[in-house]
Amino acid sequence: MRGRRYRLGLALAVLAAGMIAPQAPALAQDAQDKWSFVLTPQVWVSHIALNGFASAPNTSSAGQFLIANPISPFDAEIVSQPFPTTSTTNDKISPQWGIQLAAQKGRWTFAAGFQYVNFDTKNQITYENTTDLCGFTTCISPGQLWANEFVNTTRYDVDLTASYFFPDVVKDRVDASLGLGFKFIYAAASRQYRDMNQVAADINAVSPGLYTICPQEQCPFPNSHNRVSEYSQIYGLSIPMNLTTHLTSDSKWLLPLSITPMLGAEHRNDVNVAYSINYPQLVSQLNDNPPTVNRQDGTKFAYGFTGDLTIRYIINDMFSAYAGMRVQYIKGFDKYLAYGPLFGLSARFGGK
């Protein structure tokens, strides 16, 4: 399945018109009246440090109704979130394939871009409480691994921008461009627990899974699943800004610095997964205070930025190549952070 997604994304990246690369205006450009078109395939060899599209804060079913030292079952204390989570990448690098098509006339550039990536992250979940938790055959102590959750995420980006070129901000040395655009991200994640502690494995063996599923807001009798999905959509306003320094007098070597802030919203559908359940303090209070669910469904304000620092070489009037670094940060429901080298080749058509 992952191989098919990878090939599909690569094919789309090659055939579709990744992310907007504001380097296109860095090619030799003057106030001409004819249209020219710039096609730029690229690859971002990213390291995804934080997967904000699918985090896993305490989604274990055992963690929603954990009773500490039950001397009397009706007066025992309920601990609702005993499983802290640490997220790490499961792939050292995750190539993000992209392509951009830009149309230029005079000082205006209109661009459309597409980007694809499939990557894995791992959420390490540990047990933290003041007492041991015992299953059918053994116990787990504070600080021990509860389970590892493996998350496979597929992400698609679409960018539309319009920007205006300002030549000679510094005479014969620095050019600039400023624009406005629209960004859309769609991310789908599949999540599953593995590497379970024996206590978690015992619970999983007699239940349909460790994920708590609650279709209703009040959840006295939650269901369990072994695998769950999650979908996120981010859409917002982007503001591409670019400064290009001419490193040589013939302008064949350029140093573009691009920063693109984004303001918008994230809409998430966690498909009835309960991230935690609000229980009363004592079991005896359950009848008067039925438990309610905490989710990450809905819409939330999102913001972030993408920054590129590259070196571009103008091969001739038609071709140029660039290499450099990119960092991207997005904060919606959770944080997404990725960084790594960026490579691309631009081909210009028309304008003569």
Query: What are the boundaries of each domain within the chain?
Result: 2-350
Burial track 99-117 (b if 16+ CB lie within 10 A, e otherwise): bbbbbbeebebbbbbbbbb
Reported as half-sphere exposure (CB side, CA atoms, 13 A), residue 205 has a value of 10
Q: Is 8 helix (H, G, I), strand (E, B) or coil?
A: helix
pLDDT of residue 197: 85
Q: Can you say whether the dihedral through the CA atoms of 68, 64, 205, 198 is positive or negative?
A: negative
State how far Cα 169 lies from the chain centre. 35
Q: Identify the architecture of domain 2-350 in CATH.
A: Beta Barrel (2.40)
Query: In angstroms, rounded to a whole number, what is the distance separating the alpha carbons of residues 155 and 296?
Result: 19
Q: Do 84 and 142 contact (CB within 8 A), yes or no?
A: no
Q: Do 314 and 249 contact (CB within 8 A), yes or no?
A: no
Query: In angstroms, rounded to a whole number, what is the distance separating the alpha carbons of residues 208 and 201?
Result: 11
Burial track 19-31 (b if 16+ CB lie within 10 A, e otherwise): bbbbbbbbbebee
pLDDT of residue 112: 98
Helix (H) or strand (E) segment spanning residue 185:
strand 174-194
Total length of the chain: 352
pLDDT of residue 20: 38
For the record, the structure tokens of 225 come out as 């699943």
Q: Which amino acid is at 66?
A: L
Q: Which amino acid is at 352?
A: K
Query: In angstroms, rounded to a whole number, what is the distance separating the alpha carbons of residues 63 and 87?
Result: 18
State how far Cα 251 lies from the chain centre. 36
Q: Do 119 and 89 contact (CB within 8 A), yes or no?
A: yes
Q: What is the pTM of this model?
A: 0.81
CA distances from 348 to 28, 31, 317 (A): 10, 16, 7
Q: Is 31 helix (H, G, I), strand (E, B) or coil?
A: coil
Question: What is the DSSP annotation of 50-104?
Answer: E-TTS--SS-BSGGGSEEES-SSTTTPEEES----EEEEESSS-EEEEEEEEEEE
For the record, the structure tokens of 130 come out as 């003041």
pLDDT of residue 62: 44
State how far Cα 347 lies from the chain centre. 29
For each of the chain's 352 residues, which pLDDT tens digit applies?
444 444 444 344 333 333 334 444 444 444 457 899 999 999 999 999 888 887 655 444 444 445 444 444 444 455 555 676 777 777 789 999 999 999 999 999 999 999 999 999 888 888 877 777 777 778 888 888 888 888 899 999 999 999 999 999 999 899 999 999 999 999 999 988 888 888 888 877 777 777 778 887 777 677 777 888 889 999 999 999 999 999 999 999 999 999 999 999 999 998 887 776 666 666 666 666 767 777 778 899 999 999 999 999 999 999 999 999 999 999 998 899 999 999 999 999 987 6
pLDDT of residue 352: 62
